Structures are given as C-alpha cells and as structure tokens.
C-alpha cells in the first residue's frame, strides 16, 4: 500500500512573472523572470538544482520541443530536463514530476517551470491547431469555449435550472474574480466589472460570453522543491508542504460510453476523492482554507466546486450567489484572480495557482492575504469536459 506524498516534499521557493500581453518579451524572458524570483526565494544557487521538469503546451507558438529550451535559457548545468505536456494541466504536471523526483530520493532539489507565450498568434483566443491525424478526420469543429459551454446546457437540463439563473451565477463568478484580480499586481486583467457587463457581453459560444472566458496570456511560473529536512537545513521556517498530488485522465468513458450526462467532470470527482484520502481530509468544505480552480470559463468553476465536493450537486449556484467563494467568503476561490483575471498562459497556470497558495500559506499575499490559512487546494484541468486530464493538488503547512 502506497503511503502517498503527504508531507514528503516541501516548497523551497517559487516565482511567477507578470502575466498579460507581454508584447515586449519572449517566452525566454518570462522564464527568466519567474526563475530569478524563485531562485532568490529558495535561497539557493542554480547549480544546486539537480533535475528539472519543463511544462509548455503549445510549443510550436514559442520555444519549440524538448527540455532544451529550459536548459539553454536558464543555463542549467547538464542536468536532466524533462519536457511535459498535458493540455492546460501542463504546469501541474511539471510540478508533479519535480515533487516525485524529490520524494523518490533520486534528487534533493528539483525545479518545475511552466511557460506559455500565447500572444504571438495574431488573433484573440487560444491558438487554433490540429488535433492529430485521425482525430482531424472525425472530431467536431470544437473550440475550447464551445466544448465547455456544453456543460451549461447539460447542467441546466439535469438540474432544471433556468438559463437566466445559471447565467447570473456564472456572472457572479466572473465579477468576483475581477474584484480579486484588481488587487493582484501580477494579474493580466485588473479591471472591475459588473454582473450587467457579463450578461451583456458579446457571445463567444452560447451561453458563454466574453466575460465568461478567461484571459489568454503570456507568462511563466516556477517552483523549487526539496525535502522538509533539507528545507529546514537551508534555514526555512513555516514550511509549505505537498499534501496530495492527484491526476485523473479520461479513458473514453465520457465521450464514448453511456454513463456520463455532460454536466460535470468525471475525472475531477475521482481525482478529488483520491486527493482528500492522500491528504487525510474528511470534510474538505470545512478544512480547506482556499481554492484556486481551473476557471477557464465561469461554468467550469461552478461545476468544479461540486465535483470537488465543496458544494452539493446542483447547489453550487446557491453557494456562488451567497458569496461563499468570494474573497470575503467562507472559502475564497480564485483569490488571486484565477485564470479569469490572473490569466492563462497554459504551461504556467498550474504553477501560478500553487504560487498563490504558497504566498497565502507563507503570509506573503499582501492585500489579498487571508487570516491564517492552513490548507490550499488547486485544480488544474486540461482538454474538454468530454475528455480531459484533471489534476488536484493540496498544499499546506508542514505537519498540519
């Protein structure tokens, strides 16, 4: 019986670039921006890093394939560098690789860095790209918003929710994230909006309007991880440790078998249960201090809070409208602005979520700081509701 990852690995340092339309910066510049902060925060030299995981999803838009771009940009000293890609959950995959390397005892200190330079396409939204030889021949002409928009149709049908009521809850989610993003100097979108703005915004994929969709951004984030013992030896106090690291990947059941109704993420439900077990958490609604979930679209956040077991199934609308997930609510969600406003440079996003949890748990979140958080949970999703990779990570005070 595996003992799990709980408290075996600590975060030594983290860094995150400013996210946004970084017209004046290459992907390499963003990587250095995040790495310099992370290295300083960790208090180590570059040469102490023994292995690295490099996350980037749409490499053809910027750095190209393999681990070489990371090694060359950061001048890493001939160490192992693994490039990972798992759709929009790529950043967390890089983190998972580094954490597992340390937990295995193979290395003492490992780096995870994610980057994406999305704003060199010439148009808005995510880059249009092929799906693979055979998939191109039969996949529907889907976009990211179009695939996630279908959650709303299925959710409404299942829970008999009026379209307007659901859209209003979705609007509240976006308004909340804009409020949070406004307080975050590194966020891409820092403007406040109203529910009315959301309701009246131009349609992207019915019922998702412009303000139901997250930012498409350039950015990079990184984590340097080690064992709690080494972290202590390096003089670190109040350690932030990894409590759970789970990933569930669709095997075709949702899109080809008959037992999924299109209104939720089957993967997230599985990954969340395993994560709570790994972290030893019985009542997540009470115990988790804050969330950063994969709010690529407002509807994703809404159904995810049910899939994580925080809101009851069919009842997330009530929690959302009651302000349960607001910055001032019981359990804030997207306190850093989320994908919605911090932005979504794909390969960096999972690490960016952890960055906020890390800052909060270290008491360094500035204007956004929550009083004494203990456990933070991130949820990083890639793909489409009908076939996706869903990763759930819990970090918290070492020993808690």
Partner 1 sequence: MSDAFGILSYGAYLPRRRLQRKTIAAANGWFNPALRGLAKGERAMANWDEDTVTMAVEAARDCLAGMPPAAIGQLMLASTTHPYDDRQNAGIVATALHLGSALRVLDVTGSLRAGTSALGTALAAGGSALVAAGEHRLAKAASPQEMHYGDGAAALLVGRGEPIARLVASHSETVDFVHQYRGHDRAHDYAWEERWIRDEGYMKIVPAALGALFEASGTAASSVTHFCMPCTLPRVAAGLAKRVGLSETALRDNLAAVCGDTGAAHPLLMLAHALGDAKPGDRVLVAAFGQGCDALLFEVTDAITKLPPRAGVKGALARRKEETNYERFLAFNDHITLERGMRAETDQGTPLSTLYRNRDMVTGLVGGRCRNCGTLQFPRGRYCVNPKCNALDSQDDQPFSDLGAKVMSYTADVLTYSPDPPAYYGMIQFDGGGRMMADFADVDEGKVEVGMPMRMMFRIKENDAARGFVRYFWKAAPAANS
Which residues of the shown chain bind partner 1 in the complex (CB under 8 A)?
Answer: 121-123, 125, 128-130, 133-134, 136-143, 145-147, 149-151, 153-154, 156-157, 203-206, 208, 251-253, 255-258, 261-263, 384, 386
Task: Compute the least distance from the CB of residue 383 to partner 1, in Å.
Answer: 12
Task: Compute the least distance from the CB of residue 131 to partner 1, in Å.
Answer: 10
Nearer to partner 1, 45 or 258 (CB): 258
- Region of residue 399 (left: phi > 0; alpha: psi -120 to 50; beta: else): left
Distance CA 296, CA 239 (A): 30
Burial, 111: exposed, middle or buried (Cβ in 10 Å; 0-12, 13-18, 19+)?
buried
Contact indicator for 297, 148 with CB cutoff of 8 Å: yes
Task: Compute the least distance from the CB of residue 329 to partner 1, in Å.
Answer: 30
Nearer to partner 1, 210 or 234 (CB): 210
Nearer to partner 1, 42 or 389 (CB): 389
Nearer to partner 1, 26 or 121 (CB): 121
Estimate to the nearest angstrom the gap between the alpha carbon of 227 and the chain centroid: 23
Burial, 259: exposed, middle or buried (Cβ in 10 Å; 0-12, 13-18, 19+)?
exposed
Whether the upstream peptide bond of residue 282 has omega within 30° of 0, thus cis, is: no
Tokens of 318: 């009530």
Task: Compute the least distance from the CB of residue 113 to partner 1, in Å.
Answer: 29
Whether the upstream peptide bond of residue 159 has omega within 30° of 0, thus cis, is: no
Distance CA 320, CA 302 (A): 8
Nearer to partner 1, 30 or 205 (CB): 205
Nearer to partner 1, 121 or 369 (CB): 121
Task: Compute the least distance from the CB of residue 87 to partner 1, in Å.
Answer: 16
Task: Compute the least distance from the CB of residue 277 to partner 1, in Å.
Answer: 20
């Amino acid at each position: 019986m595996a003992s799990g990852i709980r408290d075996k690995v600590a975060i030594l340092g983290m860094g995150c670039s400013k996210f946004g339309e970084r017209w004046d910066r290459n992907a390499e510049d963003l990587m250095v921006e995040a790495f310099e902060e992370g290295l300083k925060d960790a208090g180590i030299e570059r040469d102490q890093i023994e292995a690295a995981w490099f996350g980037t999803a749409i490499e053809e838009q910027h750095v190209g394939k393999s681990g070489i771009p990371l090694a060359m940009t950061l001048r890493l000293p001939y160490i192992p560098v693994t490039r990972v890609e798992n759709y929009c959950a790529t950043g967390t995959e890089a983190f998972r690789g580094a954490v597992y390397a340390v937990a295995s005892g193979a290395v003492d200190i490992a780096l995870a860095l994610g980057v994406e330079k999305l704003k060199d396409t010439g148009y808005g939204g995510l880059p249009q790209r092929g799906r693979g030889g055979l998939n191109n021949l039969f996949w529907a002409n889907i976009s990211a918003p179009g695939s996630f928009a279908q959650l709303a149709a299925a959710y409404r049908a299942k829970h008999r929710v009026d379209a307007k009521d659901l859209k209003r809850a979705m609007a509240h989610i976006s308004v909340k994230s804009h409020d949070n993003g406004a307080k975050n100097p590194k966020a891409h979108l820092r403007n406040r909006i109203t529910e009315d703005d959301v309701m009246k915004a131009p349609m992207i994929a019915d019922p998702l309007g412009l303000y139901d969709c997250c930012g498409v951004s350039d950015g990079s984030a990184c984590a340097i991880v080690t064992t709690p013992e080494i972290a202590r030896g390096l003089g670190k106090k109040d350690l932030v440790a990894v409590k759970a690291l789970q990933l569930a990947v669709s095997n075709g059941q949702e899109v080809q078998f008959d037992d999924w109704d299109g209104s939720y993420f089957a993967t997230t439900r599985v990954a969340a249960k395993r994560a709570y077990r790994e972290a030893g958490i019985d009542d997540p609604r009470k115990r988790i201090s804050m969330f950063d979930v994969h709010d690529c679209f407002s509807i994703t956040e809404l159904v995810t809070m049910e899939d994580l077991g925080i809101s009851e199934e069919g009842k997330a609308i009530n929690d959302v409208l009651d302000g349960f997930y607001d910055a001032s609510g019981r359990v804030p969600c997207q306190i850093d602005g989320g994908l919605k406003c911090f932005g979504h440079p794909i390969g960096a996003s999972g690490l960016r979520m952890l960055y906020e949890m890390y800052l909060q748990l270290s008491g360094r979140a500035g204007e956004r700081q929550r009083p004494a958080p203990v456990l933070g949970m991130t949820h990083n999703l890639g793909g489409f509701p009908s076939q996706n990779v869903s990763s759930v990570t819990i970090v918290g005070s070492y020993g808690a």
